[in-house]
Structures are given as C-alpha cells and as structure tokens.
Amino acid sequence: MGAAGGPAPSRPRLVATDLDGTLLRSDGSVSERTRAVWAAADEAGIETVLVTARPPRWLHDLEHVVGPRGVAICGNGAFVYEVTGRRLLETHCFEAGAVESIVADLRAALPSVAFLAERASGPYLAPGYPDPHDDTVAAGAAHGPLAGIAAEPVGKLLAVTDEVPLEEFLSTVEEVVGDRGHLHFSGASGLAEINAPGVTKAVALERWATRLGIDAADVWAFGDMPNDLPMIRWAGVGWAVANAHPTLLEAADRTCPGNDDDGVAVTLERAIGRPG
C-alpha cells in the first residue's frame, strides 16, 4: 500500500505523469500552479514527459504546459510525440494482418461492436462508430469501410458497443483478443482500448528514459487508472493521486493529493524546494 505521509523521497531525474485524472483537474484544465511547477522542474534540470492514453492531436492545447522541448508518450505507448514541433518521434503499431484478424473475431463475438483506429495520419472511423463530439477528432478523421481500417499501421484500436454491459464487454474483448493485443482501461466510458502486444506506458517510458540515460530508480511516475499500473510499478517511485482507482492506490509506492488539489504540483514543489 502506498504511503501518504512523511518526507518526499529524493529528487528524481525524470518525472512522468498521466494527464486525465492525474495532472489535469476534473474539468480538463491545467492550473496555474501546475503550469508553473512544470516549468520550474525543467529549470531545475529535471526531465519531464507526459504519458497518456490520448492520441497526439489531443496534446496541442497543452503546448503551453510542456514547453518547447515537450514530449508526450501517447496512445498508451503507441506514439512518442514532440508537441510543439507536431512531430512523431516513434510509432509502435500492430503487425500487418493483426488488426483485421482482431476486428473480424470481435465482430463475430459482438456483432454490435464498432471501431476507431488511431494511426499516424490521424483517426479512422469505421461505420457505426459514434460521431465524435470533439472538433479535433471530427476535423482530422478519415471515414471509411471496415475493410480499410488497417490500410495504414494502427497504433491503438478502439472498440465500443452500447448493447453489452461494460464489464461483460471488456471481458469478452480480452478473451477474444488474447495474446494478439494488450487491453487497456483508462476510464474512458464504454471503450476497450487495444494496443499491439507489449505496448504499454511502462515499455514506452522505459525506452524514453534509456534514451535520456536515466535509470528506473531515478524516475517518478504519477497516475490514477489501471492503464497506469505498468509504469507505476516500473518507476523508482510510483505515485497515485488520492482520487486514483483502488488498484493503483494499492500498487503505488506513495500517494499524493488528488488531481483537483494539484497533487502532482504539490509533490514536485517539495522535490525542488519551490514554495507552493
């Protein structure tokens, strides 16, 4: 069980944080306190990286937070994205034929299921997928037949249905997909998020840390949902925000205040000796 009290551990060399429910407040905003301490961490020589289930295009509104060198690990590890430069640095996608096979088997098991594929060029919406309400999706989305969903390499496959209870749906998806993909749960309502085998936040974060010459022992990772578990367990210090899912609270080394109380910012302020 993570501990909430006592002095914070020694200063990290790299801080990685989830976004929704962790760094961001519940209304999706970034507080001024968080923005300021994120910049102060960089000035103090601490590397920072966002690690999120979001696709790259949903990071553009956070450019003022990540700064000119800001990098985000997106799609649960499928993409590494330079936010300011709008440039993909890495992609980790399904092998050829895997998505078509998964889609066919899921349609056989769940005829009502619909799909969206996150690809390097943007989202691809197959027939029946709910119309996106977010303009950043609608503006850049490709629409086409199910047969075209994997015409480009797919980083993350989203599956959804409103005809099966969520727990039953996720259980069926996990059983059908098997070892052909990695099922994530980020808290997004009604969604099954499927990545290629071995693609997780932890694997992507470890790769990025190695690129920077930083060991796991010198990494702090913050999160709130089960898809954050791999990186929370991998990092030298895994932090759960107070509002985190029970499985994360159990697994984390330490807890900090919740996202609406700027828990990540509070913790970093103590680490760099910056008053709140």
| CATH (domain of 181) | 3.30.1240.10
In a domain, 7, yes or no: no
Do residues 83 and 205 both lie within one domain? Answer: yes
What's the CA gap between 105 and 229, in Å, rounded?
28
Do residues 205 and 248 both lie within one domain? Answer: yes
Domain boundary among 195, 216, 243: 195
Enumerate long-range contacts of 162-170, CB under 8 Å, 24 or more apart: 162/112, 162/190, 163/112, 164/110, 164/112, 166/190, 169/110
Domain boundary among 147, 163, 195: 195
Amino acid at 86: R
Percent of the chain with pLDDT over 70: 90
In a domain, 256, yes or no: yes
Give the pLDDT score at 10: 74
Give the pLDDT score at 67: 73
Give the pLDDT score at 65: 85
For residue 207, what are its two tokens?
A: 């790769």
Give the pLDDT score at 142: 87
Domain boundary among 195, 213, 246: 195
Do residues 105 and 79 both lie within one domain? Answer: no
Give the pLDDT score at 273: 81
Please give the average per-residue pLDDT across 33-48, as a whole number. 92
In a domain, 2, yes or no: no
Confidence check: pLDDT of 9 > 70 = no
In a domain, 5, yes or no: no
- Number of structural domains found in the chain: 2
Do residues 86 and 106 both lie within one domain? Answer: no
Do residues 88 and 102 both lie within one domain? Answer: no
Do residues 103 and 188 both lie within one domain? Answer: yes
In a domain, 9, yes or no: no
Backbone angles phi, psi at 106, to 5 degrees: -70, -40
- Residues 49-103 have pLDDT tens digits of 999 999 998 898 888 888 766 899 999 999 999 998 899 999 999 999 999 999 9
Q: Which string of b and e fits 259-273 if b means at least 16 CB within 10 Å?
A: bbbbbbbbbbbbbee
Give the pLDDT score at 187: 63
Give the pLDDT score at 3: 47
In a domain, 78, yes or no: yes
Do residues 114 and 236 both lie within one domain? Answer: no
Question: Could you tell me which of 170, 211, 177 has the C-alpha nearest to residue 195?
Answer: 177
Do residues 122 and 211 both lie within one domain? Answer: no
What DSSP character marks residue 132? P
DSSP string for 137-168: HHHH-EE--GGGTTSS-EEEEEEE-SSS-HHH
Give the pLDDT score at 136: 47
- Residues 113-160 have pLDDT tens digits of 999 999 999 999 999 898 665 544 545 688 899 999 999 999 999 999
In a domain, 112, yes or no: yes
Q: In this structure, what CATH number is given to the domain that contains residue 70?
A: 3.40.50.1000
Residue 26 burial (C-beta neighbours within 10 Å; 0-12, 13-18, 19+): exposed
In a domain, 183, yes or no: yes
Give the pLDDT score at 139: 55
- Residues 175-223 have pLDDT tens digits of 999 999 999 877 666 789 999 999 999 999 999 999 999 999 999 999 9
Domain with 167, as residue range(s), is 98-195
Give the pLDDT score at 219: 97
Alpha-carbon distances, residue 171 vs 13, 99, 109 (angstroms)? 38, 19, 12
